[in-house]
Structure 1
């Protein structure tokens, strides 16, 4: 069998539990025992404890109170319940802000914040780093061998930036390490523009609304610095934890496609990936858009280490911060939780266990409502899912065998959204990436979401939507991928700038011009009301027919070595190529180029259906899936586990292929056409 070991050897099963905040209930001594009773009823086996507990752990500077946490962890251990023990750095106590105001963040306008909120602290501040080192060291010394503790939940949802003097000096030091000389920095940032040449390191500051914001290399490096400084702070946090017990895994819960941090770099510092998923279910009759967005996120977080991840937070019912806090309809709690498992999660955890009685999250969903008992619909849903997960332990550590991949880099994302043209009204990079991904998701194609530095060899199909920032080395890797037989699809607005945000010379798409066999001369930004069309050429090698609507972006390209598969239908560039394919290496693969943004999913559904078949990419099920139903796959190399997930908003039928299937929960044999009720989910097992 080809499996990863469980996240913790203490708990070789699905972790099922929630964020638990017993410090909020210390004046209610009966709550702890009642919570433990309810945890057992809900089939929960793990809690995240102490996430925002600093003021209770250190009520005064240098005065530590651990008796309440001792009691909680001891009672959990006595009842067979484990804990991810948190470091409390996500929110500092008021005494610290009062005595050491330097720990509070400074905004881009150079104004220092008042005490309050979360993550309102400078990650560079020597005082804050020292206070974090002390409290983390105390926790590590006391609990590194506690029988309940299976790992460290480090801080909470890292994010944000600080522009204080400490951070300015750290930014300058970061730039010195990167560039070595001001001459190299000025060249990389192209500071001859607007006479912005720097003549001393002291002149360099972070971007500011009342200062510099127009040097794109500067903006990009600031984002990279903020990400690196956050990772450095995380490493500072875990040093005392690892010193006490290097075998306890450390994680930091990440967020839905978070903009401010390069999670691919962050992943190198954590032992196991965890993230917090809060879909806005029931926005429309069909859940396709929401489900595919979160499927993309699940695949992204799994791909960061190419191994199972943790769903650290989700809501068992509703949120209190989304525009509309919709209740989950019957079946949706199981469906959305098993979606995470299908894409590689080995845990299902919630925020929160018991609703806070006051403050901003008192109406956020929880396993235990203000009523305080188990006789609720939500509690029954959670308990039922816990029972299901307890029957699926053989899935722990299994892989998602992906033969397709989408390239998604954070610095490309930052650069493309700073590009100032061709559509400052919205380039919609993230939506574009997910639109391409959604076509593969609909087909039931296991897909990784990878970065430029990852290995491309495991894949048969690679997709590069809007790879605006493209390094020369990445171009060489992609050419090698095609030369060795891979199928590559690249879109408009790719290969425009290098890693310094400097435009490639000698023609776009830069490093991929020869691989793709095209030259991109210019790009037309369309107004929201503008439309064009992509018209398939007769007898094209894909076998596609008809015309498809185009919006927002049309790139004017020339086929140099490529075959034209489709052309523009309108405007002065009517008849010019809109979709091409090149075979740059004899006996190698194919390189496709899509020059415009096609509006409707139907085009991508058909296109990727052709490419998947042409490249021989594996699908979870060899069958036609109804709209809104997806099939996902995990495998240990001997057994396959196929998840059928119905996000269509209605009953659906799926015809099984010729494999021998059994219901994983009941052992019942499955064959023929399976009926899937609304919001239903089914996990099947077959020989690999």
Structure 2
């Protein structure tokens, strides 16, 4: 299956490529910088970014200052913003202005005249926002430093959730105003991509609508987690999900406060987020943010959110922090491989994304089911990446396609009935379909929602109505009784048990047509395969992906080894692999045919791996040494 390609927003030559930059507030004022604007300070702040390979900033029209009255612009703020643009041109940089900025760093600010009016549904209030957007475009769209536009900053926080139709109409009217004002550059919403299709929770900001209205999608990612590897892949997973709507993805905001991470671990996080999101299809990156704000301790929002003082790429004196060095190194890699002309390789593996993530089906519990899908599939994605598997996402809501060799359906309670039959048809045509058990994670109709499960998978389940078969031990083991890919007879995989009272369960089965590949510690079938036509339906009786998703500090874990076996069983193409489960390998291809191999380590210590090149190519190095959480990029010859 074709994975979303690395495409830049806009036409070639219309904007800087690639977008590597920072969200920008001057240390002279933070959100109040336009009242205290100091050109020399801003020039110095921009220069240190430019010297480290950054090409753009995201800038902000702090709304209470720029629009102090209805139908009124503050001319002094506007003049200062134009000077800000001129400084970008002077340094060979670009910026993306953000229009409706009423939320920032833990506080909402209203223009005094808003009077509590609804930002999406009040016609007069929407007209005022559209007027502002049009006026800003008329003033600045022709400036060579303007590379794009954002309608808002995290509007779901400022305006709150809204009805889908109202949110889409609000966005349409402001975008139309920007276009009418001459703003022809790429535009998006600045909403954070926190809606139903990503999180499973509906805030009215639907990516399907945003993809129809906008030129790119811009996730904001600040994960709180309990597993270092999942933490390193969360931004990538969100970019992967966001990229399934036919628009380029800009990782618009990501980063960390130095109050929450040491310098070394902050650098590791940046390195991992940058490279993993690139391999997940991101085409641009905006770090949060350019500088620390020591000296603004008495100013909101820093007064009550003190950790917001230290998200900077530089300290408050302008000295680079390790995160900025990581951006410099990343920019150097992208220049070396001619990033704008790279594309992702096609994927033989498709991960099925249940429509219960992005669609509110009747008489279900979307507030529980959607996040369950997100968390489980994120963990499965991590295991696939560590198995060096290029993976394409197949959203059930859009059709799962028919051109993959391996379909992964990890710990999924719900699919629509037609999808189950389609999966069996795909197996009949030669694909391998892998499904692992899930009863769900709550009481509502707990159990597997599989159409014709017994017939499709060649067994008879032994469930008792309303009950689950709990896994009581803290660990469980699979022993392979037949060879399966690289796992020979007698091979063992040991898993940790996770989940709650609903999901910490297995499915007891009695084989009919299926062949047992592995048994658990009690001799019960753990992995079964039923031949269907030219392909196979493979079923795991334990919800191993969900269990791992529920556990802290679990990765890498044996699902990675099972996926590697599935890949070999299904004949999946993997151009290069590594011999260590802590190292993920992926390949990007230049339009001239040159291939570049990424090696990304999840090890906290230095390690050396021996790559296996599977298609006759050759790497310049027989072994690849990686520093802690390190990344290496090598050319694949031939």
| Of 565, 574, 578, the match for 1:619 | 574
Alignment partner, residue 540 of structure 2: 594
Alignment partner, residue 140 of structure 2: 143
Alignment partner, residue 479 of structure 1: 424
Alignment partner, residue 553 of structure 1: 505
2:291 corresponds to 1:354: yes
Partner SS state of residue 49, structure 1: strand
Change (3 A) 1:352 1:602: closer
| Of 646, 649, 663, the match for 2:604 | 649
Contact 1:412 1:468 in 2 (8 A): no
Alignment partner, residue 14 of structure 1: 18
Contact 1:416 1:429 in 2 (8 A): no
Please list the CA deviations of residues 425-480 of structure 1 after superposition, one character each: whole Å capped at 9, or x if unmatched.
99955443233222211121111233111442342211112333322343343233
Alignment partner, residue 128 of structure 2: 131
Q: Structure 1 residues 347-356 or 557-566, which shifts more?
A: 557-566
Change (3 A) 1:396 1:309: farther
Counterpart-to-counterpart distance in 2, 1:83 and 1:390? 20
| Of 103, 107, 110, the match for 1:94 | 110
Contact 1:555 1:596 in 2 (8 A): yes
Counterpart-to-counterpart distance in 2, 1:444 and 1:476? 29
Counterpart-to-counterpart distance in 2, 1:300 and 1:465? 16
Partner SS state of residue 310, structure 2: coil
1:42-61 to 2 correspondence within 5 Å? 42-50=52-60, 53-61=62-70
Counterpart-to-counterpart distance in 2, 1:3 and 1:265? 18
Alignment partner, residue 579 of structure 1: 527
What is the deviation of 1:143?
Answer: 2.8
2:242 corresponds to 1:301: yes
Partner SS state of residue 337, structure 1: helix
What is the deviation of 1:384?
Answer: 4.2
2:230 corresponds to 1:278: no
What is the deviation of 1:650?
Answer: 0.8
Counterpart-to-counterpart distance in 1, 2:515 and 2:629? 44
Please list the CA deviations of residues 186-222 of structure 1 after superposition, one character each: whole Å capped at 9, or x if unmatched.
xxxxxxxxxxxxxxxxxxxxxxxxxxxxxxxxxxxxx
Alignment partner, residue 463 of structure 1: 408
Counterpart-to-counterpart distance in 2, 1:463 and 1:641? 26
Counterpart-to-counterpart distance in 2, 1:490 and 1:395? 37
Partner SS state of residue 411, structure 2: coil
Change (3 A) 1:632 1:133: same
**TM-score, normalising length from structure 2?**
0.78
Change (3 A) 1:100 1:328: same
2:451 corresponds to 1:510: yes
What is the deviation of 1:288?
Answer: 2.8
Change (3 A) 1:483 1:537: same
What is the deviation of 1:636?
Answer: 3.6
Counterpart-to-counterpart distance in 2, 1:555 and 1:528? 10
| Of 62, 72, 88, the match for 2:71 | 62
2:321 corresponds to 1:366: no
Change (3 A) 1:458 1:559: same
What is the deviation of 1:319?
Answer: 5.6
Alignment partner, residue 73 of structure 1: 85
What is the deviation of 1:59?
Answer: 1.4
Alignment partner, residue 609 of structure 1: 564
Alignment partner, residue 195 of structure 1: none
What is the deviation of 1:280?
Answer: 6.2
Change (3 A) 1:73 1:352: same
Partner SS state of residue 507, structure 2: strand
2:42 corresponds to 1:32: yes
Please list the CA deviations of residues 575-626 of structure 1 after superposition, one character each: whole Å capped at 9, or x if unmatched.
4x44322223x22x211122222456644123211110112222251442x2
Alignment partner, residue 204 of structure 1: none
What is the deviation of 1:346?
Answer: 2.4
Contact 1:13 1:390 in 2 (8 A): no
1:343-492 to 2 correspondence within 5 Å? 343-356=280-293, 357=296, 358-361=299-302, 362-371=308-317, 373-374=318-319, 376-409=321-354, 411-412=356-357, 429-452=373-396, 453-492=398-437
Counterpart-to-counterpart distance in 2, 1:504 and 1:449? 26
Change (3 A) 1:368 1:492: same
2:152 corresponds to 1:152: no
What is the deviation of 1:541?
Answer: 5.5
Contact 1:25 1:31 in 2 (8 A): no
Aligned length: 578
Where in structure 1 are there 5+ consecutive unaligned residues?
Answer: 104-121, 168-225, 663-669
Alignment partner, residue 675 of structure 1: 625
Partner SS state of residue 603, structure 2: coil
Alignment partner, residue 312 of structure 1: 252
Counterpart-to-counterpart distance in 2, 1:603 and 1:417? 36
Contact 2:193 2:217 in 1 (8 A): no
Counterpart-to-counterpart distance in 2, 1:479 and 1:609? 22
Contact 2:383 2:563 in 1 (8 A): yes
What is the deviation of 1:486?
Answer: 1.5
Partner SS state of residue 149, structure 1: coil
What is the deviation of 1:276?
Answer: 2.4
